[in-house]
Structure 1
Amino acid sequence: MTIEAIVAGVAYELSNTTEFIFQEESDFGMPDVRRLTEAGPLQHGLTDVGFRMGARKLRLKLACNADNAATLDAQRAKLLSIFRPRNASLSIRKTLDSGARRQIDCHFNGGLSFRTSDRKGMVQVEVIELLAPDPTFYDPTAVAVPFGLTGGGGAFNVPLAIPWNVGSSVLDQVKAIEYVGTWKADPIITIYGPITDAVITNETTGMKLDFTGTTIDAGSYYVIDTRYGHKTVREDDGTNRIAALTDDSDLATFGLEADPDAPGGVNSVRVTGSGVTEATQVYMSYYTRYVGI
Protein backbone atom coordinates (compact mmCIF):
# COMPACT_ATOMS: atom_id res chain seq x y z
CA MET A 1 0.00 0.00 0.00
CA THR A 2 1.27 3.48 -0.86
CA ILE A 3 -0.09 6.99 -0.28
CA GLU A 4 0.80 9.90 -2.54
CA ALA A 5 -0.11 13.58 -2.64
CA ILE A 6 -0.46 14.93 -6.18
CA VAL A 7 -0.03 18.69 -6.59
CA ALA A 8 -0.11 20.38 -10.01
CA GLY A 9 0.55 17.01 -11.64
CA VAL A 10 3.57 16.18 -9.45
CA ALA A 11 3.30 13.11 -7.18
CA TYR A 12 4.93 13.13 -3.73
CA GLU A 13 5.10 9.80 -1.94
CA LEU A 14 4.16 10.00 1.72
CA SER A 15 4.66 6.35 2.62
CA ASN A 16 7.55 3.93 2.15
CA THR A 17 10.08 6.77 2.08
CA THR A 18 13.16 7.61 4.14
CA GLU A 19 11.84 11.16 4.67
CA PHE A 20 8.46 10.37 6.20
CA ILE A 21 7.07 7.56 8.34
CA PHE A 22 3.42 7.02 7.49
CA GLN A 23 1.69 6.15 10.76
CA GLU A 24 -2.06 6.37 10.33
CA GLU A 25 -4.97 7.26 8.07
CA SER A 26 -8.58 7.89 9.01
CA ASP A 27 -11.95 8.63 7.38
CA PHE A 28 -11.23 6.74 4.16
CA GLY A 29 -14.35 4.56 4.59
CA MET A 30 -17.98 5.63 4.52
CA PRO A 31 -18.43 9.42 4.56
CA ASP A 32 -20.84 11.21 6.87
CA VAL A 33 -24.45 10.68 5.76
CA ARG A 34 -27.42 12.86 6.69
CA ARG A 35 -30.96 11.54 6.24
CA LEU A 36 -33.53 14.02 4.93
CA THR A 37 -36.90 13.76 6.64
CA GLU A 38 -40.17 15.61 6.88
CA ALA A 39 -43.28 15.32 9.03
CA GLY A 40 -46.84 16.39 8.36
CA PRO A 41 -49.54 17.50 10.80
CA LEU A 42 -50.64 14.65 13.11
CA GLN A 43 -48.01 12.31 11.58
CA HIS A 44 -46.44 9.77 13.89
CA GLY A 45 -42.73 9.55 13.24
CA LEU A 46 -41.15 10.94 10.07
CA THR A 47 -41.16 10.44 6.31
CA ASP A 48 -37.74 9.68 4.86
CA VAL A 49 -37.20 11.66 1.66
CA GLY A 50 -33.59 10.79 0.88
CA PHE A 51 -30.08 11.53 2.03
CA ARG A 52 -27.04 13.67 1.44
CA MET A 53 -23.41 12.76 1.98
CA GLY A 54 -21.29 15.40 3.65
CA ALA A 55 -17.86 16.56 2.60
CA ARG A 56 -15.13 14.15 3.67
CA LYS A 57 -12.41 15.11 6.15
CA LEU A 58 -9.36 12.92 5.65
CA ARG A 59 -6.60 12.71 8.25
CA LEU A 60 -3.04 11.57 7.59
CA LYS A 61 -0.58 11.06 10.44
CA LEU A 62 3.06 11.36 9.38
CA ALA A 63 6.38 11.60 11.14
CA CYS A 64 9.36 13.46 9.73
CA ASN A 65 12.31 11.11 10.17
CA ALA A 66 15.66 12.90 10.32
CA ASP A 67 19.10 12.33 11.77
CA ASN A 68 19.97 16.02 12.22
CA ALA A 69 18.22 19.37 12.67
CA ALA A 70 18.98 20.62 9.16
CA THR A 71 17.36 17.55 7.56
CA LEU A 72 14.33 17.87 9.83
CA ASP A 73 13.94 21.51 8.80
CA ALA A 74 14.08 20.48 5.13
CA GLN A 75 11.44 17.79 5.66
CA ARG A 76 9.15 20.24 7.44
CA ALA A 77 9.60 22.73 4.61
CA LYS A 78 8.70 20.05 2.06
CA LEU A 79 5.44 19.20 3.84
CA LEU A 80 4.55 22.88 4.06
CA SER A 81 5.19 23.26 0.34
CA ILE A 82 3.11 20.20 -0.59
CA PHE A 83 0.11 21.08 1.54
CA ARG A 84 0.14 24.88 1.58
CA PRO A 85 -3.33 26.37 0.95
CA ARG A 86 -4.24 26.78 -2.70
CA ASN A 87 -7.36 27.61 -4.64
CA ALA A 88 -6.74 24.56 -6.83
CA SER A 89 -7.29 21.15 -5.27
CA LEU A 90 -4.62 18.56 -4.60
CA SER A 91 -5.23 14.83 -4.85
CA ILE A 92 -4.54 11.99 -2.47
CA ARG A 93 -3.89 8.71 -4.28
CA LYS A 94 -3.87 5.39 -2.48
CA THR A 95 -2.49 2.34 -4.26
CA LEU A 96 -3.88 -0.81 -2.69
CA ASP A 97 -1.93 -4.04 -2.23
CA SER A 98 -3.88 -5.42 -5.21
CA GLY A 99 -2.47 -2.65 -7.41
CA ALA A 100 -5.84 -0.88 -7.68
CA ARG A 101 -5.65 2.90 -7.33
CA ARG A 102 -8.14 5.17 -5.58
CA GLN A 103 -7.89 8.94 -5.75
CA ILE A 104 -9.76 11.85 -4.15
CA ASP A 105 -9.53 15.61 -4.71
CA CYS A 106 -9.23 17.76 -1.61
CA HIS A 107 -7.86 20.90 0.06
CA PHE A 108 -5.65 21.45 3.09
CA ASN A 109 -7.87 22.02 6.12
CA GLY A 110 -5.58 21.97 9.17
CA GLY A 111 -2.46 20.63 10.83
CA LEU A 112 1.26 21.11 10.25
CA SER A 113 1.59 23.40 13.29
CA PHE A 114 4.83 21.60 14.28
CA ARG A 115 4.35 21.83 18.04
CA THR A 116 7.44 21.03 20.09
CA SER A 117 5.31 18.69 22.22
CA ASP A 118 4.91 16.50 19.10
CA ARG A 119 8.66 16.30 18.56
CA LYS A 120 10.97 13.72 20.11
CA GLY A 121 14.57 14.15 19.15
CA MET A 122 14.70 14.39 15.36
CA VAL A 123 11.23 12.89 14.83
CA GLN A 124 8.34 15.34 14.32
CA VAL A 125 4.82 13.84 14.30
CA GLU A 126 2.03 15.69 12.49
CA VAL A 127 -1.63 15.09 11.62
CA ILE A 128 -2.73 16.64 8.31
CA GLU A 129 -6.45 17.25 7.77
CA LEU A 130 -7.79 17.48 4.22
CA LEU A 131 -11.28 18.50 3.13
CA ALA A 132 -12.75 16.69 0.11
CA PRO A 133 -15.86 18.58 -1.13
CA ASP A 134 -16.82 15.50 -3.19
CA PRO A 135 -16.54 12.64 -0.69
CA THR A 136 -16.22 9.88 -3.29
CA PHE A 137 -12.99 8.29 -4.51
CA TYR A 138 -12.29 7.45 -8.15
CA ASP A 139 -9.97 5.32 -10.24
CA PRO A 140 -7.72 7.89 -11.98
CA THR A 141 -7.69 5.86 -15.22
CA ALA A 142 -10.56 6.98 -17.43
CA VAL A 143 -12.87 4.43 -19.04
CA ALA A 144 -14.18 4.78 -22.61
CA VAL A 145 -17.11 2.85 -24.08
CA PRO A 146 -17.39 2.54 -27.87
CA PHE A 147 -20.71 2.88 -29.70
CA GLY A 148 -21.14 2.25 -33.41
CA LEU A 149 -21.73 -0.43 -35.97
CA THR A 150 -18.06 -1.47 -35.73
CA GLY A 151 -17.65 -0.82 -31.98
CA GLY A 152 -15.93 -3.27 -29.65
CA GLY A 153 -17.50 -5.61 -27.16
CA GLY A 154 -17.51 -3.54 -23.99
CA ALA A 155 -15.83 -1.01 -21.77
CA PHE A 156 -12.06 -0.85 -21.48
CA ASN A 157 -9.52 1.20 -19.55
CA VAL A 158 -7.66 3.91 -21.45
CA PRO A 159 -5.57 6.94 -20.47
CA LEU A 160 -7.85 9.26 -22.45
CA ALA A 161 -11.28 9.05 -24.05
CA ILE A 162 -11.27 7.45 -27.53
CA PRO A 163 -13.65 8.39 -30.37
CA TRP A 164 -15.24 5.84 -32.73
CA ASN A 165 -16.31 6.12 -36.35
CA VAL A 166 -19.74 4.66 -36.97
CA GLY A 167 -19.81 4.71 -40.77
CA SER A 168 -23.52 4.10 -41.55
CA SER A 169 -26.60 6.23 -42.26
CA VAL A 170 -28.34 4.98 -39.10
CA LEU A 171 -26.83 4.35 -35.68
CA ASP A 172 -28.72 2.13 -33.23
CA GLN A 173 -26.69 0.12 -30.76
CA VAL A 174 -27.02 -1.10 -27.18
CA LYS A 175 -24.03 -1.81 -24.95
CA ALA A 176 -24.14 -3.58 -21.60
CA ILE A 177 -21.63 -1.54 -19.61
CA GLU A 178 -20.32 -3.49 -16.62
CA TYR A 179 -19.75 -0.70 -14.13
CA VAL A 180 -17.55 -1.94 -11.27
CA GLY A 181 -17.69 1.12 -9.01
CA THR A 182 -19.67 1.49 -5.80
CA TRP A 183 -20.94 5.02 -6.55
CA LYS A 184 -22.66 6.54 -9.57
CA ALA A 185 -20.46 7.76 -12.45
CA ASP A 186 -21.37 10.97 -14.30
CA PRO A 187 -19.96 10.64 -17.83
CA ILE A 188 -18.93 13.21 -20.41
CA ILE A 189 -20.39 12.40 -23.83
CA THR A 190 -19.19 13.97 -27.08
CA ILE A 191 -21.15 13.66 -30.33
CA TYR A 192 -19.48 14.66 -33.60
CA GLY A 193 -21.73 15.44 -36.56
CA PRO A 194 -23.28 14.91 -38.89
CA ILE A 195 -26.10 13.30 -36.93
CA THR A 196 -29.80 13.99 -36.51
CA ASP A 197 -32.08 13.10 -33.59
CA ALA A 198 -29.30 11.70 -31.43
CA VAL A 199 -30.58 9.96 -28.28
CA ILE A 200 -28.51 8.37 -25.48
CA THR A 201 -30.60 6.22 -23.14
CA ASN A 202 -29.61 4.24 -20.06
CA GLU A 203 -32.25 1.54 -20.41
CA THR A 204 -31.42 0.15 -16.96
CA THR A 205 -32.42 3.38 -15.20
CA GLY A 206 -34.75 4.85 -17.83
CA MET A 207 -32.73 8.08 -17.98
CA LYS A 208 -32.04 9.66 -21.37
CA LEU A 209 -30.40 12.56 -23.20
CA ASP A 210 -32.67 13.29 -26.17
CA PHE A 211 -31.71 15.60 -29.04
CA THR A 212 -34.74 14.78 -31.20
CA GLY A 213 -35.35 17.66 -33.62
CA THR A 214 -31.69 18.70 -33.62
CA THR A 215 -29.08 18.17 -36.32
CA ILE A 216 -25.40 18.40 -35.44
CA ASP A 217 -23.68 19.43 -38.67
CA ALA A 218 -20.57 17.87 -40.12
CA GLY A 219 -17.50 19.44 -38.57
CA SER A 220 -19.36 20.37 -35.38
CA TYR A 221 -19.73 18.53 -32.09
CA TYR A 222 -21.68 18.73 -28.84
CA VAL A 223 -20.17 18.00 -25.41
CA ILE A 224 -22.65 16.82 -22.75
CA ASP A 225 -21.14 17.09 -19.27
CA THR A 226 -23.31 15.29 -16.71
CA ARG A 227 -21.01 15.90 -13.73
CA TYR A 228 -22.41 17.69 -10.71
CA GLY A 229 -21.61 21.39 -10.85
CA HIS A 230 -21.49 21.25 -14.64
CA LYS A 231 -24.65 19.74 -16.22
CA THR A 232 -23.96 21.49 -19.51
CA VAL A 233 -24.41 21.00 -23.24
CA ARG A 234 -22.02 23.03 -25.38
CA GLU A 235 -21.18 23.18 -29.06
CA ASP A 236 -17.56 23.15 -30.15
CA ASP A 237 -17.51 26.98 -30.32
CA GLY A 238 -18.67 27.21 -26.69
CA THR A 239 -22.31 28.03 -27.50
CA ASN A 240 -24.77 26.82 -24.87
CA ARG A 241 -26.96 24.14 -26.50
CA ILE A 242 -28.85 22.91 -23.44
CA ALA A 243 -32.10 24.01 -25.11
CA ALA A 244 -31.49 21.36 -27.79
CA LEU A 245 -32.39 18.67 -25.24
CA THR A 246 -36.05 17.72 -25.15
CA ASP A 247 -38.02 18.71 -22.05
CA ASP A 248 -38.20 15.11 -20.85
CA SER A 249 -34.43 14.61 -20.92
CA ASP A 250 -32.60 13.73 -17.68
CA LEU A 251 -29.43 15.81 -17.70
CA ALA A 252 -29.66 16.32 -13.92
CA THR A 253 -29.76 12.60 -13.11
CA PHE A 254 -28.20 10.77 -16.08
CA GLY A 255 -25.31 8.48 -15.20
CA LEU A 256 -24.07 4.94 -14.72
CA GLU A 257 -25.40 3.30 -11.55
CA ALA A 258 -23.57 0.87 -9.29
CA ASP A 259 -24.80 -2.51 -8.07
CA PRO A 260 -27.44 -3.11 -6.68
CA ASP A 261 -29.24 -0.10 -8.23
CA ALA A 262 -28.09 -1.53 -11.54
CA PRO A 263 -28.13 -5.31 -10.88
CA GLY A 264 -24.60 -6.63 -11.17
CA GLY A 265 -23.48 -3.13 -12.11
CA VAL A 266 -24.73 -3.69 -15.67
CA ASN A 267 -26.02 -0.50 -17.35
CA SER A 268 -27.60 -1.09 -20.77
CA VAL A 269 -26.96 2.07 -22.77
CA ARG A 270 -28.50 2.67 -26.21
CA VAL A 271 -27.25 5.29 -28.68
CA THR A 272 -29.37 6.13 -31.71
CA GLY A 273 -29.31 8.69 -34.51
CA SER A 274 -29.83 9.12 -38.22
CA GLY A 275 -28.09 10.86 -41.07
CA VAL A 276 -24.67 9.73 -39.95
CA THR A 277 -21.62 9.31 -42.16
CA GLU A 278 -18.11 7.98 -41.75
CA ALA A 279 -17.23 11.36 -40.23
CA THR A 280 -19.72 10.86 -37.41
CA GLN A 281 -18.17 10.01 -34.05
CA VAL A 282 -19.69 9.33 -30.64
CA TYR A 283 -17.79 8.73 -27.43
CA MET A 284 -18.42 8.54 -23.70
CA SER A 285 -15.82 8.76 -20.94
CA TYR A 286 -16.08 8.48 -17.19
CA TYR A 287 -14.16 7.71 -14.01
CA THR A 288 -15.17 4.73 -11.90
CA ARG A 289 -16.21 6.09 -8.53
CA TYR A 290 -16.22 4.52 -5.05
CA VAL A 291 -18.11 5.51 -1.92
CA GLY A 292 -15.06 4.65 0.19
CA ILE A 293 -12.02 2.41 0.50
Structure 2
Amino acid sequence: MATIPFQTAGAQGINAEDGASDAIVITGSRIARDGYNAPTPLTVLNEADVQVAAPANVADFVNQIPSLVGSATPANSNLSISAGTAGVNALNLRALGSSRTLVLLDGQRSVGATLGGIVDVNNIPQGLVKSVEVVTGGASAAYGSDAVSGVVNFILDKEFTGIKGAIEGGETTYGDGQNYRISLSGGMSFAGGRGHLLLNGEYAKKEGIHGVPRDWNQQGWYMINNPAYAAGNGAPERLIVRNAGLSNAYPGGMITNTALRGTTFGVNGALGQFAYGETRDPWMIGGDWQAVQVNSNQSLDPEEERKGLFGPVEL
Protein backbone atom coordinates (compact mmCIF):
# COMPACT_ATOMS: atom_id res chain seq x y z
CA MET A 1 0.00 0.00 0.00
CA ALA A 2 1.34 3.43 -0.92
CA THR A 3 0.38 6.88 0.36
CA ILE A 4 0.65 9.91 -1.95
CA PRO A 5 0.45 13.42 -0.39
CA PHE A 6 -2.55 15.40 -1.65
CA GLN A 7 -1.18 18.35 -3.67
CA THR A 8 -2.80 21.70 -3.05
CA ALA A 9 -1.93 23.47 -6.28
CA GLY A 10 -4.51 26.14 -7.14
CA ALA A 11 -3.46 26.10 -10.79
CA GLN A 12 -4.62 22.53 -10.98
CA GLY A 13 -8.09 23.32 -9.68
CA ILE A 14 -7.54 22.04 -6.14
CA ASN A 15 -8.83 24.22 -3.35
CA ALA A 16 -7.22 24.05 0.09
CA GLU A 17 -8.84 26.90 1.96
CA ASP A 18 -8.04 25.69 5.44
CA GLY A 19 -4.60 24.33 4.57
CA ALA A 20 -5.53 20.92 5.98
CA SER A 21 -3.27 18.05 5.04
CA ASP A 22 -5.18 15.34 3.20
CA ALA A 23 -3.86 12.17 1.59
CA ILE A 24 -4.89 9.81 -1.18
CA VAL A 25 -4.34 6.17 -0.27
CA ILE A 26 -3.83 3.75 -3.16
CA THR A 27 -4.64 0.17 -2.21
CA GLY A 28 -4.16 -1.40 -5.63
CA SER A 29 -3.32 -0.57 -9.21
CA ARG A 30 -4.04 -1.90 -12.68
CA ILE A 31 -1.43 0.29 -14.33
CA ALA A 32 0.32 -1.71 -17.05
CA ARG A 33 4.00 -2.20 -16.39
CA ASP A 34 6.86 -4.11 -17.90
CA GLY A 35 9.63 -6.14 -16.32
CA TYR A 36 11.82 -3.07 -15.81
CA ASN A 37 9.32 -1.17 -13.65
CA ALA A 38 7.89 -4.00 -11.54
CA PRO A 39 8.58 -4.07 -7.77
CA THR A 40 9.90 -7.64 -8.09
CA PRO A 41 12.06 -9.27 -10.80
CA LEU A 42 9.60 -9.89 -13.64
CA THR A 43 9.79 -11.48 -17.08
CA VAL A 44 6.98 -10.47 -19.43
CA LEU A 45 6.07 -12.44 -22.56
CA ASN A 46 3.53 -10.65 -24.73
CA GLU A 47 1.11 -11.95 -27.35
CA ALA A 48 3.45 -11.07 -30.21
CA ASP A 49 6.21 -13.19 -28.68
CA VAL A 50 3.88 -16.19 -28.48
CA GLN A 51 2.61 -15.73 -32.04
CA VAL A 52 6.12 -15.51 -33.49
CA ALA A 53 7.15 -18.73 -31.73
CA ALA A 54 3.85 -20.45 -32.72
CA PRO A 55 4.22 -23.23 -30.14
CA ALA A 56 1.91 -26.24 -30.16
CA ASN A 57 1.31 -25.42 -26.51
CA VAL A 58 1.94 -22.13 -24.70
CA ALA A 59 3.73 -24.13 -21.98
CA ASP A 60 6.36 -25.18 -24.53
CA PHE A 61 7.11 -21.51 -25.13
CA VAL A 62 7.17 -20.49 -21.46
CA ASN A 63 9.47 -23.41 -20.65
CA GLN A 64 12.17 -21.82 -22.83
CA ILE A 65 12.83 -19.34 -20.02
CA PRO A 66 16.05 -20.56 -18.32
CA SER A 67 14.51 -20.47 -14.84
CA LEU A 68 11.74 -22.86 -16.00
CA VAL A 69 13.94 -25.43 -17.74
CA GLY A 70 13.23 -28.81 -16.16
CA SER A 71 9.47 -28.37 -15.87
CA ALA A 72 7.24 -31.41 -16.28
CA THR A 73 5.98 -31.86 -19.86
CA PRO A 74 4.16 -34.69 -21.67
CA ALA A 75 7.55 -35.65 -23.12
CA ASN A 76 9.17 -36.33 -19.73
CA SER A 77 6.16 -37.19 -17.56
CA ASN A 78 4.61 -39.93 -19.71
CA LEU A 79 5.79 -42.61 -17.26
CA SER A 80 4.42 -40.88 -14.15
CA ILE A 81 1.18 -42.87 -14.25
CA SER A 82 1.07 -43.90 -10.59
CA ALA A 83 1.71 -40.29 -9.51
CA GLY A 84 -1.20 -39.09 -11.65
CA THR A 85 0.95 -36.59 -13.53
CA ALA A 86 1.35 -38.36 -16.89
CA GLY A 87 0.86 -35.90 -19.74
CA VAL A 88 0.77 -32.90 -17.41
CA ASN A 89 2.47 -29.59 -18.25
CA ALA A 90 3.53 -28.40 -14.78
CA LEU A 91 5.76 -25.34 -14.42
CA ASN A 92 8.72 -25.65 -12.08
CA LEU A 93 10.70 -22.49 -11.32
CA ARG A 94 14.34 -23.08 -10.32
CA ALA A 95 13.70 -26.83 -9.99
CA LEU A 96 12.29 -26.33 -6.49
CA GLY A 97 9.20 -28.34 -7.35
CA SER A 98 5.94 -27.61 -9.16
CA SER A 99 4.14 -27.38 -5.81
CA ARG A 100 6.32 -24.35 -4.98
CA THR A 101 5.50 -22.53 -8.24
CA LEU A 102 2.20 -20.66 -8.14
CA VAL A 103 0.33 -20.59 -11.47
CA LEU A 104 -2.33 -17.88 -11.81
CA LEU A 105 -4.95 -17.15 -14.45
CA ASP A 106 -5.65 -13.42 -14.64
CA GLY A 107 -4.22 -13.01 -11.16
CA GLN A 108 -6.47 -15.69 -9.68
CA ARG A 109 -5.40 -19.10 -8.42
CA SER A 110 -6.20 -21.75 -10.99
CA VAL A 111 -7.79 -25.12 -10.31
CA GLY A 112 -5.30 -27.92 -9.64
CA ALA A 113 -5.18 -30.91 -11.98
CA THR A 114 -3.50 -33.41 -9.61
CA LEU A 115 -3.96 -34.57 -6.03
CA GLY A 116 -1.09 -32.29 -5.06
CA GLY A 117 -2.85 -29.25 -6.50
CA ILE A 118 -0.43 -28.82 -9.41
CA VAL A 119 -1.89 -26.69 -12.22
CA ASP A 120 -1.85 -28.20 -15.71
CA VAL A 121 -0.98 -25.47 -18.22
CA ASN A 122 -2.70 -27.56 -20.91
CA ASN A 123 -5.94 -26.11 -19.50
CA ILE A 124 -4.95 -22.52 -20.30
CA PRO A 125 -6.76 -21.30 -23.47
CA GLN A 126 -3.80 -20.45 -25.67
CA GLY A 127 -5.92 -18.58 -28.22
CA LEU A 128 -6.89 -16.00 -25.60
CA VAL A 129 -3.52 -15.50 -23.88
CA LYS A 130 -2.57 -11.81 -24.03
CA SER A 131 0.67 -12.04 -22.05
CA VAL A 132 2.53 -14.13 -19.50
CA GLU A 133 4.22 -12.63 -16.44
CA VAL A 134 6.85 -14.66 -14.61
CA VAL A 135 7.88 -13.40 -11.18
CA THR A 136 11.39 -14.84 -11.13
CA GLY A 137 12.02 -13.80 -7.53
CA GLY A 138 10.32 -15.64 -4.69
CA ALA A 139 6.91 -14.16 -3.91
CA SER A 140 5.88 -16.21 -0.90
CA ALA A 141 5.49 -13.12 1.28
CA ALA A 142 2.52 -12.01 -0.81
CA TYR A 143 1.09 -15.30 -2.06
CA GLY A 144 1.96 -17.98 0.50
CA SER A 145 4.22 -21.01 0.67
CA ASP A 146 3.17 -22.33 -2.75
CA ALA A 147 4.96 -19.33 -4.32
CA VAL A 148 8.36 -19.90 -2.72
CA SER A 149 10.08 -20.17 -6.12
CA GLY A 150 7.91 -17.58 -7.87
CA VAL A 151 4.67 -16.94 -9.73
CA VAL A 152 3.58 -17.46 -13.35
CA ASN A 153 0.53 -15.39 -14.29
CA PHE A 154 -1.30 -16.05 -17.58
CA ILE A 155 -3.24 -12.93 -18.59
CA LEU A 156 -6.17 -13.34 -20.97
CA ASP A 157 -7.54 -10.79 -23.41
CA LYS A 158 -10.80 -10.44 -21.49
CA GLU A 159 -12.03 -7.53 -23.64
CA PHE A 160 -11.62 -9.33 -26.95
CA THR A 161 -14.60 -8.80 -29.26
CA GLY A 162 -15.12 -10.63 -32.53
CA ILE A 163 -13.93 -13.96 -33.90
CA LYS A 164 -10.41 -15.16 -34.60
CA GLY A 165 -8.92 -18.51 -35.45
CA ALA A 166 -5.61 -20.18 -36.14
CA ILE A 167 -4.50 -23.29 -37.98
CA GLU A 168 -0.88 -24.31 -37.49
CA GLY A 169 1.17 -27.33 -38.47
CA GLY A 170 4.73 -28.49 -38.84
CA GLU A 171 7.23 -31.32 -38.84
CA THR A 172 10.91 -31.86 -38.11
CA THR A 173 13.68 -31.43 -40.66
CA TYR A 174 13.76 -35.24 -40.87
CA GLY A 175 10.18 -35.39 -42.13
CA ASP A 176 8.71 -36.89 -38.94
CA GLY A 177 7.08 -35.59 -35.76
CA GLN A 178 4.12 -34.05 -37.60
CA ASN A 179 1.98 -31.78 -35.42
CA TYR A 180 -0.90 -29.39 -35.91
CA ARG A 181 -3.20 -27.17 -33.87
CA ILE A 182 -6.61 -25.66 -34.58
CA SER A 183 -7.94 -22.82 -32.43
CA LEU A 184 -11.12 -20.73 -32.62
CA SER A 185 -11.91 -17.86 -30.24
CA GLY A 186 -14.78 -15.43 -29.94
CA GLY A 187 -15.90 -12.62 -27.67
CA MET A 188 -18.95 -10.39 -27.32
CA SER A 189 -20.42 -7.85 -24.93
CA PHE A 190 -23.99 -7.99 -23.66
CA ALA A 191 -26.33 -6.20 -21.26
CA GLY A 192 -25.31 -2.82 -22.60
CA GLY A 193 -21.63 -3.51 -22.13
CA ARG A 194 -21.98 -4.57 -18.50
CA GLY A 195 -21.12 -8.17 -19.31
CA HIS A 196 -18.64 -9.92 -21.58
CA LEU A 197 -18.59 -13.48 -22.92
CA LEU A 198 -15.48 -15.30 -24.14
CA LEU A 199 -15.35 -18.64 -25.92
CA ASN A 200 -12.32 -20.66 -26.99
CA GLY A 201 -11.98 -24.12 -28.46
CA GLU A 202 -8.70 -25.83 -29.29
CA TYR A 203 -7.53 -29.13 -30.70
CA ALA A 204 -3.86 -30.07 -30.90
CA LYS A 205 -2.23 -33.28 -32.11
CA LYS A 206 1.38 -34.48 -32.15
CA GLU A 207 2.09 -37.68 -34.02
CA GLY A 208 5.20 -38.30 -31.94
CA ILE A 209 8.56 -39.80 -32.91
CA HIS A 210 8.70 -43.46 -31.97
CA GLY A 211 12.16 -44.81 -31.25
CA VAL A 212 15.14 -42.57 -31.97
CA PRO A 213 15.55 -42.56 -35.78
CA ARG A 214 18.63 -40.34 -35.80
CA ASP A 215 22.17 -41.07 -36.97
CA TRP A 216 23.70 -40.01 -33.65
CA ASN A 217 21.63 -42.62 -31.83
CA GLN A 218 23.06 -45.46 -33.92
CA GLN A 219 26.49 -44.90 -32.36
CA GLY A 220 25.38 -45.50 -28.78
CA TRP A 221 26.48 -42.23 -27.17
CA TYR A 222 25.86 -42.08 -23.41
CA MET A 223 27.22 -40.59 -20.21
CA ILE A 224 28.13 -43.64 -18.12
CA ASN A 225 29.94 -44.58 -14.91
CA ASN A 226 33.70 -44.80 -15.48
CA PRO A 227 34.81 -48.43 -14.96
CA ALA A 228 38.27 -47.18 -13.89
CA TYR A 229 36.96 -44.78 -11.25
CA ALA A 230 37.68 -45.31 -7.57
CA ALA A 231 37.40 -42.80 -4.77
CA GLY A 232 40.63 -40.82 -4.59
CA ASN A 233 42.34 -42.23 -7.71
CA GLY A 234 41.92 -39.00 -9.68
CA ALA A 235 39.95 -40.59 -12.52
CA PRO A 236 36.67 -38.94 -13.63
CA GLU A 237 33.55 -40.59 -12.23
CA ARG A 238 31.56 -40.12 -15.46
CA LEU A 239 32.52 -40.62 -19.09
CA ILE A 240 30.83 -39.63 -22.36
CA VAL A 241 31.46 -42.56 -24.68
CA ARG A 242 30.10 -44.29 -27.76
CA ASN A 243 29.15 -47.95 -28.25
CA ALA A 244 27.61 -48.07 -24.75
CA GLY A 245 24.61 -49.96 -23.44
CA LEU A 246 23.13 -51.55 -20.35
CA SER A 247 25.02 -54.42 -18.72
CA ASN A 248 22.18 -55.80 -16.60
CA ALA A 249 19.19 -55.94 -18.96
CA TYR A 250 18.17 -57.73 -22.14
CA PRO A 251 14.98 -57.55 -24.25
CA GLY A 252 13.94 -61.14 -23.38
CA GLY A 253 15.48 -61.19 -19.91
CA MET A 254 18.85 -62.30 -18.56
CA ILE A 255 20.51 -63.77 -15.48
CA THR A 256 22.68 -61.12 -13.81
CA ASN A 257 24.45 -63.14 -11.07
CA THR A 258 25.71 -66.60 -10.04
CA ALA A 259 27.67 -68.84 -12.39
CA LEU A 260 24.93 -68.37 -15.02
CA ARG A 261 25.52 -64.62 -15.23
CA GLY A 262 25.05 -63.39 -18.79
CA THR A 263 22.62 -66.13 -19.85
CA THR A 264 19.99 -64.49 -22.04
CA PHE A 265 16.49 -65.53 -23.10
CA GLY A 266 15.47 -64.92 -26.69
CA VAL A 267 12.48 -65.83 -28.85
CA ASN A 268 10.52 -68.82 -27.49
CA GLY A 269 12.90 -68.96 -24.53
CA ALA A 270 15.99 -69.71 -26.63
CA LEU A 271 19.13 -69.49 -24.49
CA GLY A 272 22.12 -67.38 -25.40
CA GLN A 273 25.27 -65.93 -23.87
CA PHE A 274 25.59 -62.19 -23.48
CA ALA A 275 28.92 -60.66 -24.53
CA TYR A 276 30.01 -58.18 -21.87
CA GLY A 277 32.14 -55.20 -22.71
CA GLU A 278 34.06 -53.08 -20.25
CA THR A 279 31.57 -52.78 -17.42
CA ARG A 280 30.62 -50.86 -14.38
CA ASP A 281 27.00 -51.71 -13.76
CA PRO A 282 24.55 -50.75 -15.01
CA TRP A 283 26.57 -49.65 -18.05
CA MET A 284 29.19 -51.18 -20.30
CA ILE A 285 31.30 -50.17 -23.29
CA GLY A 286 31.47 -52.55 -26.24
CA GLY A 287 30.25 -56.14 -26.22
CA ASP A 288 26.61 -56.63 -27.24
CA TRP A 289 25.83 -52.94 -26.71
CA GLN A 290 23.55 -52.76 -29.78
CA ALA A 291 21.24 -55.43 -28.35
CA VAL A 292 20.68 -53.37 -25.21
CA GLN A 293 20.34 -49.90 -26.72
CA VAL A 294 18.06 -47.98 -24.37
CA ASN A 295 17.02 -45.20 -26.74
CA SER A 296 15.84 -47.56 -29.46
CA ASN A 297 13.08 -48.77 -27.12
CA GLN A 298 11.91 -45.29 -26.16
CA SER A 299 10.24 -42.42 -27.96
CA LEU A 300 12.21 -39.34 -28.90
CA ASP A 301 8.94 -37.41 -28.76
CA PRO A 302 5.78 -39.03 -27.34
CA GLU A 303 2.45 -38.90 -29.09
CA GLU A 304 0.16 -36.22 -27.69
CA GLU A 305 -3.45 -35.17 -28.21
CA ARG A 306 -5.13 -32.22 -26.50
CA LYS A 307 -8.69 -30.91 -26.57
CA GLY A 308 -9.89 -27.82 -24.77
CA LEU A 309 -13.05 -25.75 -24.36
CA PHE A 310 -13.10 -22.52 -22.37
CA GLY A 311 -16.03 -20.14 -21.84
CA PRO A 312 -15.96 -17.56 -19.01
CA VAL A 313 -18.65 -14.93 -18.48
CA GLU A 314 -17.90 -11.67 -16.69
CA LEU A 315 -20.56 -9.34 -15.29
Please report the TM-score for the alignment, with normalisation by the length of structure 1.
0.25
Q: Which has the higher helix share?
A: 2
Q: Which has the higher contact order (CA 8 A, sep 6+)?
A: 1
Q: Which has the higher strand share?
A: 1
Larger Rg: 2
